[in-house]
């Protein structure tokens, strides 16, 4: 057996490896064997993807057009969708979810970026500050949320937040028990728990910005704010766009916050999310098919959003 | 290592990996039904959990004794958590077919169990032969677990709601513990006095989350003489004077008198935890709520007494009733079904045994003397026997419950599609309990619209 | 103010070292350190000490800063009543299994996609990466229905650890991370091994893996913390009290347990992940940035 390929010569930009089963001057039998080897290494992961990811995807769509009753499954066309769309809770849930997403975008998206810019300027206590910011990310969400539920958002003045507000002579709040505060309170908890990873990712991005750009901007007389707008943001644009997208997709799946903080639907349904509705249909109301339809609707909405988003952001180039 | 050899190793590793997973999974599917040596094995769920020490001990003793009396039967107990029927887990077990041979369910679960295709028709097996007290069991309860003339479960508990109140707090507040409130306005007065004790004590407590708010709205509505759905079950029927009264009463207590405590959005266990801690003056519930307060939430049963459900201006016009039973999993052998029925007869349906073993429960400081579960028809042999035993062993002042028992209120069951409707009604309850400016008409109208749409979509 | 090694950032170092800049810098730094400590460590302090307070003390207004009469009993109760030993063991067990299956299967797959490149490899990689676009909530119901009745085999994985382990292998992000790392390993190294007659498995084992320790560390940490933090999926597929994870167990007990005990249990449940974080923070941080940035 001879190694005939020289790395870097077979395909532009991608070197063939000694084992690669791709186009090479070898015998057919050899090729088949190499391919088999390659697939033998792949098979475990592929099976897991097939069974737990690809198949359920299709299954979800199929289920949304079926109804199982008395152990018998029948095709019901668009019935599940009609039923779901007719349910006023559906619209409440979407309204709440979008509200959460928007609030989280304001708080959970902008704040980490500016925190990262700030941290990036410090020459001291860097490691300490990073650890602090990331620490809540490592808590199991259930643990962190019980802390918020019982200690921070206590509606009386025995609660942490109300005690602080009262000490500052500010009006206190009933937090989760006040329909208007439900969402802001959930966003606050969620941001506290999750912002660490965004901060770290931004920090890494900021460190890749060539220092000369700032220098040049400064020579042009640009102040700090102008430098952020003209250098920092354009230089981190890709990562900013990517994280915005990831965050929107993540926040649209809001579930554990309402479940633990609001005991489900919250005051006057102010916490019901689409994901919580899926859970209610699937596991409380004996309606897995309706839950599947809800899932498909969510997928369509998110896919549509991603497509539009990708379109918009790429056009700007 | 040559190439073919390596490939063999890789293949082996893969096969080993997958094979391992397969064998590990498949061991689960076939443990219950084997009859080694002619023995019949049945699995039963709802075994008490470890923290309920006495109850667990009792259950295990009962299993041992039952097996001694029936040497050819093996009972395998499974614990499914503190709440035997926690909807998401129950759904999971039903959908996954991992229910035990005999599985616990509420009366309202029949439809879901039938939908899952896991239910077994036990009509021909349930009789005097397998369950000696069968003829004494209230026919209305059997009816609840029957569809199209087929029986699917054995009722093991039956309750109706009343007003539970803490006698100690009544005394402290200067109220007469022997003269509990009979109407909602009286409840409001009492709640005001009790909450004046301070210390975070709520005069009256109520649910508003996790579908329990809707559940209690239903109970409160029944007490007003109302109903959740029209007779034909096709329309919502609570957006009326009675529904308004229910919410108005709560709103008045919550924000008019501030007598319901500041912490709302309570679910099942939240309220009972507070009650066990002596922080609740009154709440509506079934008599066995006191059992839960004692065995699960470390409260004292001596504190608790029960009055009939209050009405708006006289006795309640109706009260919510419900209950539980054991279903049988589809595909059991005749022997298994018979063994299962025998076990239920022993543990749940024999005065002096199992759940009716008052002699044993009394020294364990479990409440004895509660007027329920009323499983047997009034006047039947089993009922007389049970009442006699209960009176003889009562450790709670029986008079705590005489008012409740002496004033029977017409019992109404839960509406169809109960969980979905309760989820909707939660919002109305949380509205009046968390929003001082809640608009009751608006809340009811919204809920009515939602329930009607839900019913229409169900068809 | 010694280390000046970093590159130039938004504000030049020189500016921060001069009179006014220096004052502003130090003031700001102090404020940030204090505020961040309060915001991120404060709640944790509140959690740990709050769980030491008695029921009365936690309900008092205004709340006390230190527990007046510490009740370690709350932690003992949490440990005993919630059977935390069992719950923690379960979670460790699931995390260990998840780690094992992900390391073995995902590494093998990434190796194959990067170095062996069988036919349809790219198509398979594409299909895998496409799953990154599908939100978990969308799949939860059909995935759940699949797990309770596996296609073809008709096995039921409810309450079996495989219901947690195997779906986690389908982690396109891990495969992507590993593949990119393997891609960066020079082919010449492998070519030399092949000349020596080494098989692909041997090459993976003795050349690729030793060089990939950093990325394997990252994948391992993510695998473990993912299991520790997950909630809804284990809640659905582990319905028995015997098989619950620690998060799900605490949630299940939260209804019937005094709130201080629930919070005490939450503290105990958080300890392992916090320890992992403090031990491996360097790897975690580098993993986060390599993973998300240079793709």
Instruction: Give the sheet arrangement for strand B280-285, strand by strand.
Output: B202-204, B280-285, B162-166, B304-307
Q: Which of A65-69, A183-187, B8-12, B193-197 has the lowest mean pLDDT?
A: B8-12
Coil, helix or strand for B310? strand
Q: Does A66 touch chain B (CB under 8 A)?
A: no
Residues of B in contact with C152 (CB under 8 A): none
Residue of C103, C199, C242 to mutate for B, most B C-beta atoms under 10 A:
C199
Distance CA B297, CA B277 (A): 8
Q: Does C251 touch chain A (CB under 8 A)?
A: yes
Residues of C in contact with A142 (CB under 8 A): 231, 247-248, 250-251, 266, 269
Backbone angles phi, psi at B35, to 5 degrees: -110, 85
> What is the band of C253 on the pLDDT scale with cuts at 50, 70, 90?
confident
Residues of C in contact with B200 (CB under 8 A): 59
CATH fold group of domain A87-315: MetI-like fold (1.10.3720)
pLDDT of residue A184: 92
pLDDT of residue B14: 40
Domains (range + CATH), chain B: 36-159+322-393 (3.40.190.10), 162-321+400-458 (3.40.190.10)
Q: Say what percent of chain A tops pLDDT 70.
A: 91
Q: What ipTM was reported for this prediction? A: 0.87
The CB density around residue B139, as the number of other CB atoms within 10 Å, is 9
**Tens-digit pLDDT profile for residues C9-29:** 888 877 777 788 888 889 999
- Give me the helix-helix angle, C162-169 and A28-49, nearest 10°: 130
Residue of A80, A268, A288 to mutate for B, most B C-beta atoms under 10 A:
A268
Rounded to an integer, what is the distance from CA B51 to the centroid of its chain?
19
Task: From first to last of the 459 residues of chain B, give the pLDDT tens digit.
Answer: 333 344 444 443 443 444 444 333 333 334 444 445 678 999 999 998 777 788 889 999 999 999 999 999 999 998 887 778 877 788 878 877 788 999 999 888 888 899 888 889 999 999 998 999 999 998 888 988 998 999 999 999 988 899 999 999 999 999 999 899 999 999 999 999 999 998 889 999 999 988 899 999 999 999 999 999 999 888 999 999 999 999 999 999 999 999 999 888 898 888 988 898 899 999 999 888 888 888 777 788 888 888 999 999 999 999 998 889 999 999 999 999 999 999 999 999 999 889 899 999 888 878 888 887 788 888 888 888 988 898 888 887 777 787 888 888 888 888 888 888 998 999 999 999 988 899 999 999 999 998 998 888 765
Chains in contact with B, counting 3 or more C-beta pairs less than 8 Å apart as contact: A, C
Q: Does A47 touch chain B (CB under 8 A)?
A: yes
CB–CB contact C148 B96 (8 Å): yes
Nearest to A87 among B112, B443, B453 (CB): B453
Residues of B in contact with C155 (CB under 8 A): 22, 25-26, 29
Q: Does A28 touch chain C (CB under 8 A)?
A: no
What distance, in Å, lies between the first and last C-alpha atoms of chain B? 68
What are all long-range contacts of B290-297, with beta carbons under 8 Å and residues at least 24 apart? B290/B164, B290/B367, B290/B370, B291/B366, B291/B367, B291/B370, B294/B365, B294/B366, B294/B367, B295/B52, B295/B54, B295/B55, B295/B366, B296/B51, B296/B52, B296/B82, B296/B269, B296/B272, B296/C256, B297/B269, B297/B272, B297/B273, B297/C256
Q: Does A229 touch chain C (CB under 8 A)?
A: no
| Cα dihedral across residues C74, C79, C84, C88: positive or negative | positive
Mean pLDDT of A224-235: 90
| Cα dihedral across residues A228, A234, A239, A242: positive or negative | positive
Q: Which of A6-15, A69-78, A85-94, C50-59 has the lowest mean pLDDT?
A: A6-15
pLDDT of residue C3: 42
Please tell me which residue of chain B has the smallest CA distance to A43.
B14
Residue of A79, A286, A290, A291 to mutate for B, most B C-beta atoms under 10 A:
A286
pLDDT of residue B17: 42
> What is the band of C289 on the pLDDT scale with cuts at 50, 70, 90?
low
Question: Residues 199-228, chain B: which have Cβ within 8 Å of A?
Answer: 200, 208-211
Residues of B in contact with C256 (CB under 8 A): 82, 269, 272-273, 296-297
Domain locations in chain C? 13-50, 77-293
Mean pLDDT of A237-246: 86
Chains in contact with C, counting 3 or more C-beta pairs less than 8 Å apart as contact: A, B
Nearest to B369 by CA among B391, B349, B399: B391
Scored b (16 or more CB within 10 A) or e, C81-92 reads bbbbebbbebbb
> What is the band of A193 on the pLDDT scale with cuts at 50, 70, 90?
very high
> What is the band of A99 on the pLDDT scale with cuts at 50, 70, 90?
very high
Nearest to B115 among A47, A70, A82 (CB): A70
Beta bridge partners of C276: none
- Whole-structure pTM over 0.90, yes or no? no
- The answer to whether the CB of B398 falls within 8 A of the CB of B391 is yes
* CATH H superfamily, domain C77-293: MetI-like (1.10.3720.10)
| Cα dihedral across residues B203, B209, B215, B218: positive or negative | positive
Q: Does C195 touch chain A (CB under 8 A)?
A: yes
CB–CB contact B263 A155 (8 Å): yes
């Amino acid at each position: 057996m001879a190694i005939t390929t020289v790395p870097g010569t077979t395909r532009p930009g991608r070197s063939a490896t000694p084992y690669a089963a791709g186009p090479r001057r070898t015998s057919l039998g050899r090729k088949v064997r190499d391919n088999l080897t390659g697939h033998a290494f792949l098979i475990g992961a592929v099976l897991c993807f097939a069974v737990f990811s690809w198949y359920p995807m299709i299954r979800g769509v199929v289920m949304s057009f079926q109804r199982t009753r008395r152990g018998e499954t029948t095709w019901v066309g668009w019935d599940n969708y009609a039923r779901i769309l007719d349910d006023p809770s559906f619209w409440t849930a979407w309204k709440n979810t979008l509200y959460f997403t928007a609030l989280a975008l304001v708080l959970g998206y902008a704040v980490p970026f500016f925190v990262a810019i700030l941290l990036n300027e410090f020459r001291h206590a860097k490691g300490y500050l990073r650890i602090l910011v990331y620490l809540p990310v490592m808590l199991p969400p259930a643990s962190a949320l019980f802390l918020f539920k019982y200690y921070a958002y206590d509606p009386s003045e025995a609660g942490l937040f109300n005690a602080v507000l009262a000490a500052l002579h500010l009006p206190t709040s009933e937090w989760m028990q006040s329909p208007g505060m439900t969402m802001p309170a959930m966003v606050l908890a969620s941001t506290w728990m999750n912002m660490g990873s965004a901060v770290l990712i931004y920090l890494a991005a900021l460190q890749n910005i060539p220092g000369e750009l700032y220098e040049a901007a400064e020579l042009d007389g640009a102040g700090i704010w102008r430098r952020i707008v003209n250098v920092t943001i354009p230089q981190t644009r890709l990562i900013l766009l990517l994280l915005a997208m990831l965050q929107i997709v993540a926040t649209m799946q809001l579930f554990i916050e309402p479940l633990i903080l609001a005991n489900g639907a919250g005051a006057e349904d102010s916490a019901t999310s689409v994901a919580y509705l899926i859970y209610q249909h699937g596991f409380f109301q004996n309606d897995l098919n309706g839950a599947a339809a809800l899932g498909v609707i969510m997928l369509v909405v998110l896919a549509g959003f991603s497509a539009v988003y990708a379109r918009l952001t790429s056009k700007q180039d | 290592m040559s190439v073919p050899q390596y490939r063999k190793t890789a293949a082996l590793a893969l096969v080993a990996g997958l094979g391992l997973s397969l064998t590990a999974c498949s061991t689960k599917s076939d443990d219950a039904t084997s009859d080694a040596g002619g023995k019949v094995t049945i699995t039963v769920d709802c075994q008490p959990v470890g923290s309920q020490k006495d109850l667990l001990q009792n259950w295990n003793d009962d299993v041992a004794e039952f097996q001694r009396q029936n040497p050819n039967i093996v009972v395998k107990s499974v614990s499914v958590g503190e709440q035997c029927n926690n909807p998401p887990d129950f759904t999971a077990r039903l959908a996954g077919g991992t229910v035990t041979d005999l599985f616990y369910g509420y009366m309202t679960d029949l439809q879901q169990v039938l939908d899952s295709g896991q239910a077994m028709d036990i009509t021909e097996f349930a009789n005097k032969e397998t369950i000696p007290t069968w003829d004494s069991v209230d026919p209305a309860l059997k009816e609840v677990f029957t569809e199209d003339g087929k029986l699917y479960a054995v009722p093991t508990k039956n309750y109706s709601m009343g007003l539970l109140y803490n006698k100690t707090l009544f005394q402290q507040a200067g109220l007469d513990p022997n003269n509990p409130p009979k109407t909602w306005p009286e409840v409001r007065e009492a709640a005001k006095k009790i909450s004046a004790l301070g210390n975070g004590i709520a005069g009256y407590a109520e649910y508003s989350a996790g579908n329990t708010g809707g559940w209690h709205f239903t109970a409160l509505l029944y007490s007003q003489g109302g109903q959740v759905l029209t007779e034909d079950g096709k329309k919502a029927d609570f957006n009326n004077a009675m529904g308004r009264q229910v919410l108005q009463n709560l709103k008045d207590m919550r924000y008019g008198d501030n007598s319901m405590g500041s912490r709302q959005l309570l679910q099942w266990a939240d309220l009972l935890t507070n009650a066990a801690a002596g922080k609740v003056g009154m709440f509506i519930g079934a008599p066995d709520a006191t059992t839960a307060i004692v065995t699960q939430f470390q409260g004292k049963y001596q504190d608790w007494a029960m009055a009939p459900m209050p009405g708006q201006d006289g006795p309640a016009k109706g009260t919510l009733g419900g209950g539980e039973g054991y279903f049988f999993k589809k595909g059991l052998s005749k022997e298994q079904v018979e063994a299962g029925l025998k076990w239920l007869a022993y543990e749940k349906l024999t005065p002096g045994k199992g759940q009716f073993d008052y002699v044993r429960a009394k020294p364990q400081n479990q409440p004895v003397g509660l007027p329920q579960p009323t499983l047997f028809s009034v006047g039947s042999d089993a009922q007389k026997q049970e009442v006699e035993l209960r009176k003889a062993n009562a450790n709670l002042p029986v008079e705590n419950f005489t008012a409740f028992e002496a004033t029977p209120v017409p019992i109404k069951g839960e509406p169809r599609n109960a969980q979905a409707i309760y989820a909707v009604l939660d919002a109305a309850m949380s509205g009046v309990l968390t929003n001082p400016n809640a608009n009751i008409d608006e809340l009811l109208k919204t809920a009515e619209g939602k329930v009607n749409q839900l019913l229409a979509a169900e068809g | 103010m010694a280390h000046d090694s970093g590159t130039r950032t938004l504000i030049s170092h020189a500016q921060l070292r001069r009179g006014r800049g220096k004052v502003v810098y130090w003031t700001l730094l102090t404020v940030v350190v204090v505020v961040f400590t309060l915001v991120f460590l404060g709640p944790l302090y509140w959690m740990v000490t709050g769980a030491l307070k008695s029921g009365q003390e936690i309900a008092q207004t205004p709340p006390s800063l230190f527990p007046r009469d510490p009740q370690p009993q709350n932690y003992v109760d949490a440990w005993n009543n919630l059977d935390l030993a069992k719950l923690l063991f379960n979670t460790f067990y699931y995390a260990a299994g998840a780690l094992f299956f992900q390391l073995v299967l995902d590494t093998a797959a990434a190796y194959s996609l990067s170095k062996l490149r069988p036919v349809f490899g790219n198509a398979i990689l594409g299909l895998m990466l496409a799953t990154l676009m599908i939100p978990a909530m969308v799949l939860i119901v059909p995935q759940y229905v699949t797990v309770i009745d596996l296609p073809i085999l008709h096995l039921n994985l409810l309450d079996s650890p495989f219901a947690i382990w195997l779906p986690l292998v389908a982690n396109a992000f891990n495969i992507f991370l590993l593949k990119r790392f393997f891609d960066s390993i020079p082919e010449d190294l492998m070519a030399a091994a092949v000349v020596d007659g080494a098989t692909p498995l041997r090459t993976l084992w003795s050349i690729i893996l030793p060089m990939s320790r950093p990325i394997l560390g990252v994948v391992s940490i993510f695998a473990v913390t993912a299991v520790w933090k997950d909630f809804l999926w284990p809640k659905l597929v582990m319905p028995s009290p015997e098989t619950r994870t620690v998060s799900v167990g605490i949630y299940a007990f939260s209804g019937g347990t005094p709130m201080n005990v629930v919070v005490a249990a939450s503290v105990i449940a958080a300890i392992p992940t916090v320890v992992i974080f403090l031990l491996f923070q360097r790897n975690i941080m580098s993993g986060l940035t390599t993973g998300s940035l240079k793709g």
